[in-house]
């Protein structure tokens, strides 16, 4: 094994399984040691996620309430107007987010959608925020258009291991996902790609997912690790909960395998107590989604995150080139404004 904390692209499932079986304290110590080599251990990158087109997705992802294959009671919405999206982006910035992520429930964007999407990207960029989008599969041409518009990140998760993937999704192949990631990388954009745990996968599958991500030619700059949010009406609504320690181990192993990536503590935080989240930060998580919704599922409200940050002595990471003093002032102002009930908004409205 190479020197601790260096980037590798030749991990094996056997090696990763061995990491998962380390004593818990030893695993976290190793992950935290590596984390401190590349990041400020007391800073967390803060993003906001907005659904810009909700529901009626033709894919059959068994975890997703937005799939047209399942009846979850989700109200379908058309693509939001550009002005509405930029208004929400401005609110996110005022709350302290440095990255604004926009998600559309599409298999892939159509040509008629691209002009609106591009205007959203340009508007978010003009606000001084990093931008990220998740729109489904992308062609090389579409990736190039988004890059030219100024999109910083494109999110396209692998979800799980290649071996387990067919148990969760049948309408899109693993190769399709890898092809989109390659198109994004070839365009010059940064990649946001991770997966979901608690789908009923085996421990070997969790290792397999992380191996796939770590062994990409260039590791993703952002790696969201999601805990399954069980939604009534989806095939996974009754799935057995993953043990919290197994989730924390997954965060730690992701940090060890991808030492320079931001590892995002993503969906499922609503079900995590403060102690579990604190252990995830200790394990190397250094990015969160901020705000009361993640596309269509619940997320801790901004004030609870700020209070947890205060308890842990953590502060939001400033965007590169963005005045840290200005950023911290914005956070402080947001904390004061938390007493106002109008602060919170439905990100899918």
- As annotated, the active-site residues are 57, 61, 64, 101, 132, 192, 264
Helix crossing, 140-149 with 114-126: angle to 10°?
30
Is residue 213 a contact partner of residue 157, using CB atoms and an 8 Å limit? no
| Residue in this structure with the two tokens 């429930």, named with its chain if needed | 105
**CA count, 13 A, side-chain hemisphere, 63:** 23
C-alpha to C-alpha distances, 36 to 4, 57, 118, 308, nearest whole angstrom: 12, 40, 37, 21
In angstroms, the CA 68 to CA 72 distance is 9
**How would you class 35 by CB atoms within 10 Å of its CB: exposed for 0-12, middle for 13-18, buried for 19 or more?**
buried
Is residue 283 a contact partner of residue 31, using CB atoms and an 8 Å limit? yes
- With DSSP H G I counted as helix, E B as strand and the rest as coil, what are the percentages for the chain, rounded to 5? 40, 15, 45
CA-wise closest residue to 30 among 252, 185, 180: 252
| Residue in this structure with the two tokens 């094994």, named with its chain if needed | 1
CA-wise closest residue to 285 among 8, 15, 45: 45
In angstroms, the CA 137 to CA 15 distance is 31
The gap between the terminal CA atoms of the chain, to the nearest Å, is 49
Farthest CA pair distance, the chain: 53
């Amino acid at each position: 094994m190479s020197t601790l904390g260096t980037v590798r692209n030749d991990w094996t499932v056997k090696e990763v399984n061995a990491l998962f079986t380390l004593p818990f304290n030893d695993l976290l110590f190793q992950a935290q040691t590596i984390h401190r080599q590349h990041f400020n251990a007391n800073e967390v990158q803060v993003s906001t996620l907005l659904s810009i087109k909700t529901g009626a997705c033709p894919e059959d992802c068994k975890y997703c309430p937005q799939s047209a294959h399942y009846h979850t009671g989700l109200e379908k919405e058309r693509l939001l107007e550009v002005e509405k999206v930029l208004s929400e982006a401005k609110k996110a910035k005022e709350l302290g987010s440095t990255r604004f992520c926009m998600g559309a429930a599409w298999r892939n964007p159509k040509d008629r959608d691209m002009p609106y999407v591009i205007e959203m990207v340009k508007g978010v960029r003009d606000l001084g925020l990093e931008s990220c989008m998740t729109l489904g599969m992308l062609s090389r041409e579409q990736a190039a258009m988004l890059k030219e518009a100024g999109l910083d990140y494109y999110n396209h998760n692998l979800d799980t291991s290649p071996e387990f993937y067919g148990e969760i999704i049948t309408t899109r192949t693993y190769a399709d996902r890898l092809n989109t990631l390659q198109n994004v990388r070839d365009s010059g954009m940064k990649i946001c790609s991770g997966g979901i745990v608690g789908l009923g996968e085996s421990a070997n599958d969790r290792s397999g997912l992380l191996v796939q991500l770590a062994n990409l030619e260039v590791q993703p700059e952002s790696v969201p690790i999601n805990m399954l949010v069980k939604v009534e009406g989806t095939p996974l609504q009754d799935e057995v909960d993953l043990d919290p320690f197994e989730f924390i181990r997954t965060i730690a192993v992701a940090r060890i395998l991808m030492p320079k990536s931001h590892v995002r503590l993503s969906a499922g935080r609503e079900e995590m107590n403060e102690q579990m989240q604190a252990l995830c930060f200790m394990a190397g998580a250094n990015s969160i989604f901020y705000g009361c919704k993640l596309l269509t599922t619940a997320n801790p409200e901004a004030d609870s995150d700020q209070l947890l940050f205060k308890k842990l002595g953590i502060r939001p990471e400033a965007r590169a080139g963005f005045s840290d003093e200005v950023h911290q002032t914005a956070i402080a102002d947001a904390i004061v404004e938390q007493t106002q009930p109008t602060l919170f908004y439905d990100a899918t409205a």
